[in-house]
Structure 1
Amino acid sequence: MKSLILLCSALLLATPVHAAQLTLELDAGSRTWQTDELLKHPLARTVTVKDDVSYKRDMSYRAVPISALLTGIKADDHLQAVALDGFAAELPAAPLLNQDGAQAWLAIEDPAKPWPPLAEGKHSAGPFYLVWTNPQAGHISPEQWPFEVASIKRLAPVAERFPALRPDPKLAAGDPVNQGFALFQKNCLACHRLNGAGDSQFGPDLNIPYSPTEYFGADFLKRYIRDPQSLRRWPQAKMPAFASSVLPDAELELLVGYLKHMAGRKQAAQ
């Protein structure tokens, strides 16, 4: 019986990867790309990604420059990449269109050459994965590496879509709290809501019923953001660590400052 169970488990893990489709909803209208179309794209090439955020090692992918797929998109546009698991990455278009320094690629999982699972018992990062070459040149956050991507959409900026996320409007545009709000959008909103506002179905709300600034003492919140499993360790933990190379100490202070500010602005999402 034990041998039969092991055999069934092995067969399940060996289930072949199937072709998938990616939906793009941009200025030029909606377009659906199939796996084989992307693998045959004239700009498709093999890229090597150093220290891949999801796999924690160097990886090679068949990929297309994401800029080649963003028809009609301008640098000041705002995009959202939605994953199969509910992860919703908010992405300013400018870095995605960049062709120097940090460059974004859509990695395509070939059903004939499936990628390894992200961890034991888990799926791969496919069928589509937004990866970066030379990410340090663009100060790219781990939240800007969405995997299992199902769609990419052009949307209004976060502050317009979700007024409940906005800091006090009396604050100047350059106020540290507004700087922290920008960092929240870049690093947190892909997984978390705040005041019930946001599109992610992934992580807990960061203000309702309580802000983490209200229940983490002293500098423990900063320690938690830096290395979540140093304070809370469990096998299914998904929150990534934010090293100082990705989120410098000064930016971490700004981010926590925004959360503290919003703890005094609890409200229902509109």
Structure 2
Amino acid sequence: MRALLLLLALLPAMANAAELLVELADGSHRYSSAELLAHPASRELEIPADVAYKRAMHYRAVPLAELLEGVKAEDHLQAVADDGFAAELPAAALLDAKGARAWLAVEDPAKPWPALGKAGKSAGPFYLVWTHPEAEQIGAEQWPFRMVRLRILAPVAERFPALRPDPALAVDDPINLGFAQFQKNCLACHRLNKQGDAAFGPDLNLPYNPTEYLRADLLRRYIRDPQSLRHWPQARMPGFAATALSEDQLDHLLAYLRHMAGRKVAAD
């Protein structure tokens, strides 16, 4: 009877337990929320302009670099959320503490974070947040919340060859520069030419590329502020401010999209 009572007492904590799977070159590790909350490098953190909550937030967080032992600056990682959002993250930004700094915010089951929207779910149990994001133009797509997995992967161009622009283009061609912006700002939600890991938004080349059905000025406006062009309360696409995507970078992104409209793969 005592064992049964103990089990019943533990059930709420077990139900709220959460784990983050981190897969690196030397193997995998599952971190529980309790383990991370007690991590010796964890600290209380204030985020003045939180991307998910659109206001100042307070978190218990661990510097993400603490969980990336053996990862090199030239490596590439991907953070996956429970809804199919898949953020592509160059390791250099995650390891560098001089400018923008990446933190893994951990939700305490005893002190849950506020709900996001009508679904009733918070941004937890694990949320990648940044201090001084403006130092390296960290955009909204690099703030994945409800994370379940962080893994090291080959670069996007190796994994998804159908995303590559014409190989004859120079490295510094605006189209190749736009491909870099696409990886940073679009690939977390969208696929293109049926390739990509995200399962969140529509394919951006099949059956039609947005440059084929939106005027250039309207497409620019839509990327900056989706609700200004099409008001939809359930829409989840964020706007991209100039602090995260400059005018030149937006030009490059649009050049890449126009280019890829002529490099479609077969629909079936």
TM-score with structure 2 setting the length: 0.93
Aligned with 2:117: secondary structure?
coil
How far, CA to CA, are the matches of 1:203 and 1:55 in structure 2?
A: 21
How far, CA to CA, are the matches of 1:169 and 1:267 in structure 2?
A: 16
Conserved in 2, the CA contact under 8 Å of 1:213 and 1:259?
yes
Alignment-derived partner of residue 88 in structure 1:
86
Segments of structure 2 that go 5 or more residues without pairing to the other structure are 1-11
> What amino acid is aligned across from residue 262 of structure 1 in structure 2?
M
Q: How does 1:25-36 map to 2 (within 5 A)?
A: 25-36=23-34
How far, CA to CA, are the matches of 2:68 and 2:50 in structure 1?
A: 23
Conserved in 2, the CA contact under 8 Å of 1:180 and 1:251?
yes
CA RMSD in angstroms comes to: 1.4
How far, CA to CA, are the matches of 2:116 and 2:144 in structure 1?
A: 13
Give identity over the alignment, percent.
64
Alignment-derived partner of residue 119 in structure 1:
117
Conserved in 2, the CA contact under 8 Å of 1:164 and 1:268?
no
Aligned with 1:36: secondary structure?
helix
TM-score with structure 1 setting the length: 0.92
Alignment-derived partner of residue 235 in structure 1:
233
How far, CA to CA, are the matches of 2:120 and 2:88 in structure 1?
A: 24
Q: How many residues align?
A: 255
Aligned with 1:136: secondary structure?
helix
* Aligned partner (choices 72, 75, 83) of residue 74 of structure 1: 72
How far, CA to CA, are the matches of 1:26 and 1:149 in structure 2?
A: 16
Query: Does 2:202 correspond to 1:211?
Result: no
Aligned with 2:22: secondary structure?
strand
Displacement, 1:217? 1.6
How far, CA to CA, are the matches of 1:144 and 1:19 in structure 2?
A: 25
Alignment-derived partner of residue 164 in structure 2:
166
- Once the two structures are overlaid, the 10-residue window that deviates more, 121-130 or 83-92, is 121-130
Moved over 4 A (4+): none
Displacement, 1:244? 1.1
Alignment-derived partner of residue 105 in structure 2:
107
Displacement, 1:218? 3.6
> What amino acid is aligned across from residue 54 of structure 1 in structure 2?
A
Spell out, residue by residue over 1:188-236, the C-alpha distance to the aligned partner (whole angstroms, 9 max, x if none): 0000000001000000000000000000024100000000011111121
Segments of structure 1 that go 5 or more residues without pairing to the other structure are 1-14
